[in-house]
Amino acid sequence: MEITWMQWYAGLQKPGWTPEPATIGFIWQVLYPLIFFSCSFVFLKAYRGKLPWCVALPFAINLLANLAFTPIQFGLRNLVLASFDISIVLVTIVWGMIVIWRYQRWVAILQVPYLIWVAIATVLQFMITWLNVISPSML
C-alpha cells in the first residue's frame, strides 16, 4: 500500500521551526491573490505594449516554477529537484522586483510578502533536503 503525500511529508525529518501544514496553507491563501493580481497586471500591461515583454519574463518564469513546486515536491517526492525549483522561484521574485521597479514600483512592493515567505520556504526546503537526502547519504 502506497503512502499518501501527507503521510510522506509527515515522515520527513524537519527542523524544529517548521510551520504546521495549516499555517503554510494559510500563508499561501494570502499570497496567491497578491501573486495573481501582480502577474495579471504585468502580463496585461505587456500585452497592451505598456511594458516591455522582458519585464514580464521573470513573472512568467516565477509563475511556472511556483506551479511546478507542488507536483515536484509531493507528486514526484523529489526533494533535490524541489530545492532547485524553489530557488528559481526565489531568484525570479527578486529579478521581477528589480525589473518592474522603474515602471510600477507598487508591483515590486506588493512582492515583498511573497519574497519574505519564499525566502523562509527556501531555507526550510534546503534544510529538509539536507536532513533527508544529503545528510543520511553521508553516514
pLDDT digits (tens, 9 = 90+) for 102-139: 999 999 999 999 999 999 999 999 999 999 998 877 65
Average pLDDT in the 2-26 region?
A: 94
Band of pLDDT at residue 9, cut at 50, 70 and 90? very high
Average pLDDT in the 3-14 region?
A: 93
Contact 69, 85 (CB under 8 A): yes
pLDDT exceeding 70 applies to what percent of the chain?
98
Helix or strand or coil: residue 64?
A: helix
Environment class of residue 83 by beta-carbon count within 10 Å: exposed (0-12), middle (13-18) or buried (19+)? buried
* Residue 139 pLDDT: 56
Average pLDDT in the 63-76 region?
A: 97
With a CB cutoff of 8 Å and minimum separation 6, the contacts of 15 are: 124, 127, 128, 131
Q: Which residue has the cell 526565489?
A: 90
Q: What is the pTM of this model?
A: 0.93
| CA distances (Å), origin 88, targets 53, 85, 93 | 19, 5, 9
Residue 53 has pLDDT above 90, yes or no: yes
Nearest Cα to 127, choosing from 23, 17, 24? Answer: 17
Contacts 24+ apart (CB under 8 A), 41-45: 41/104, 41/107, 42/96, 42/100, 42/104, 42/107, 45/103, 45/104
For the chain, the domains span: 28-138
